[in-house]
Structures are given as C-alpha cells and as structure tokens.
Structure 1
Amino acid sequence: MPRVFHSAILKPSTDQVWQVLRDFGGVHRWLPGIDRCDVENGLQGDQVGAVRHLVTRDGTRFRERLLALSDYDLTLAYAIIEAPLPVSDHLAEIRVIPVTEGGGSFLAWSAEFACPDGEHDRVTRFMLDEVIRPGLAALERGLAA
C-alpha cells in the first residue's frame, strides 16, 4: 500500500493548532481549495463517526469519516469514503506534538491507501502537493494572522 508522510514545525502553539484541527467539520476554513464542508446527519465536527462532505472550488466532491480524535494525544484519524480518486482502504492521521525547545508545534500528517498499480505516483503526488503541503502552509498562515 502506498504511504505518504509530511511533517512541519509550525510557529503557533500546540493549543492553537489543535483547536483548528480538532474541528473536523471546519476544514474549509483553512485547507486551500475547499469551498464548503458540511457534517452529515446532525453530528458535530468533533464526534467520532462524523462524516464530512467536502466540495472543492471546482465542484469536486469528497466524503470523509472521522475515525478517532484524542484531545489527550492531539491526534485525529480519518478515512476517505468517497472521492474522484482511485483509492480504497484510505486511512490518514494528523498528529500535533509540542516543540519543547523554542516553542511551536510539530505536525505530522500521514496517509495509507490502496489504489491501482499505475496510479500510485499520481495519487501520492496529489495528496502531498494538493492537500498536505499546502494545507500545512495555510494552517500556519491562518494562525499567524
């Protein structure tokens, strides 16, 4: 199974970063390209089992389920359950760790998924270059404002 991983040290505090990330239904406020995010079935954006319906600026639609959220460990896990990408068995995790020397936050974002053999590179590049890297940069910019 392909796996993508990216990490960054962000200047905002762990508390600031986690307050934004833990709102699974608020991803449209910080992730570039997401125009709308609705949490289905009346659940809250921090309830395990919540499904968010994402619509990108070009009208592309995704559905993702929150699998785990820990305020103690500052982690969340989610799965793509519907996407225009050729992926299945998707599992992603975002983890925030305090930087003890100098302050700030270490953020790690990873995902594993299955896809057809000929699609590994394309899907991996999409996740890294269109979601994770710009997402981390936008998160930091938004918190610094």
Structure 2
Amino acid sequence: MEPATQMAHDQQQPKWEGVATAELLGPKAEQVWPFLEDFFGLHKWFPTLTTCLPVHGISGQPGCVRYCAGFKTPVDCEGDQPEPNWTKQELLSIDPSQMTYSYSIVDGNVGFNSYISTLKVVPKEDGCSIEWKYEVEPVEGWTLKDLDVFIDTGLQVMASRMKASLSPKLEV
C-alpha cells in the first residue's frame, strides 16, 4: 500500500475499545480509592512500571501530567532496547465522590494515539471492583487482544497489590 493510502486506511479504522475489571473481596471501595486517586503513585501498583513522576500540576487535579516509564508491553522485542517505554499522561477529570477519573496519553514512544482511559472503583456488598475502560486508535504492531491482555494483567496485579497492602500484617 502507498503511504498516503495506508494513512487513509488507518484513519478509517474504528478506535479500539475495551474494559478490564478486577474484583477485590474484602476491601471496601473507600479503602481502595486513595490508591488510585494518587495519580503520581501508579508505579506503586502497576507491574513492571519503574517510574511515575510528576511533570506538571498537583496530583489529583485535572490538568496534572505524570511521566511513566519502564513498563514492558506484549510487543516488546527480546534483548536490548535503546530506551525504556515511556508515556506522559494527563489527568482529564476526577470525581472523588464517584471514585472515578479519566486520563489521556499525551506523548510517548509506545505508539498509543488518542488513548483515553477511565478508572472507577465500584462498591460491592463483599468488597469492591476496579473497572478500567479504554479506547485508542489501532496501535501498530499490536492487536486489540494484546492491549486487552496488557491492561487486564496489569489491573489484576494492581488489585492484588492493593488488597495485600490493606491486609493486616501477620504478627510473628
């Protein structure tokens, strides 16, 4: 395909959309929400993310931007990479009373264009769940299934880490 034809074809593809959910039995939504609300603290929970630094603004206020780096994706090549994967993410909106926020990727080297996510903590009778909705233009070298697995796997580990941090410490 000619480059101009390929660009026109890519622009006609619908955005990928997905949702991942993690159930947390025991912890209440009000206990889990502060972990997610800490927009600059994602590295504490997301697997393989080594860096999450403030770039601009105050954590938890719309317009703030975080720099995230070090994560591996399903399409990373084996061996040496010249630089780590990184993104800059902007908090678009937040509603603590509904325990939800949305953010977008505004820059990065992983090929995510027009990426927007919404995370929400949902109260349940026996605990809570975390819901992660996302949409992005098709990503070169990825499939929607790659993205679904990447986000779902990351969310399951995040939920597990959050639950473990809330569990009473065993006394020795």
Same-fold call, TM cutoff 0.5: yes
Give the superposition deviation at 1:57. 6.2
Normalised to the residue count of structure 2, the TM-score between the two structures is 0.72
Structure number with bigger Rg: 2
The CA distance in 1 between the partners of 2:98 and 2:120, in whole Å, is: 8
Trace 1:98-137 onto structure 2 (pairs within 5 A): 98-99=123-124, 101-102=125-126, 104-116=127-139, 119-121=142-144, 122-129=146-153, 131-137=154-160
Normalised to the residue count of structure 1, the TM-score between the two structures is 0.84
The CA distance in 2 between the partners of 1:123 and 1:142, in whole Å, is: 27
- The structure in which a higher percent of residues are strand is 1
Q: What CA RMSD, in Å, does the superposition of the two structures yield over aligned residues? A: 2.1
Equivalent residue number for residue 141 of structure 1 = 164
Give the superposition deviation at 1:85. 2.3
Kindly tell me the number of residue pairs found equivalent between the two proteins: 141
Give the superposition deviation at 1:117. 7.0
The CA distance in 1 between the partners of 2:71 and 2:149, in whole Å, is: 19
The CA distance in 1 between the partners of 2:94 and 2:166, in whole Å, is: 21
AA of the residue aligned to 2:20: H
Consecutive unaligned residues of structure 2, counting only runs of 5 or more, are 1-14, 73-83
AA of the residue aligned to 1:48: P
Percent of aligned pairs with the same residue?
23
Of residues 23, 29, 49, the one that matches 1:14 is: 29
Of residues 36, 51, 62, the one that matches 2:51 is: 36
The CA distance in 2 between the partners of 1:71 and 1:91, in whole Å, is: 19
Residues 37 and 118 of structure 1: CA distance in aligned 2, closer, same or farther (over 3 Å): closer
Give the superposition deviation at 1:50. 0.6
Of residues 100, 103, 108, the one that matches 1:75 is: 100
Residues 71 and 87 of structure 1: CA distance in aligned 2, closer, same or farther (over 3 Å): same
Equivalent residue number for residue 111 of structure 2 = 86
Residues 93 and 57 of structure 1: CA distance in aligned 2, closer, same or farther (over 3 Å): closer
The CA distance in 2 between the partners of 1:9 and 1:28, in whole Å, is: 20
Equivalent residue number for residue 97 of structure 1 = 122
Runs of 4+ displaced beyond 4 Å = none
SS of corresponding position for 1:135: helix
Alpha carbons 1:4, 1:127 under 8 Å: kept: no
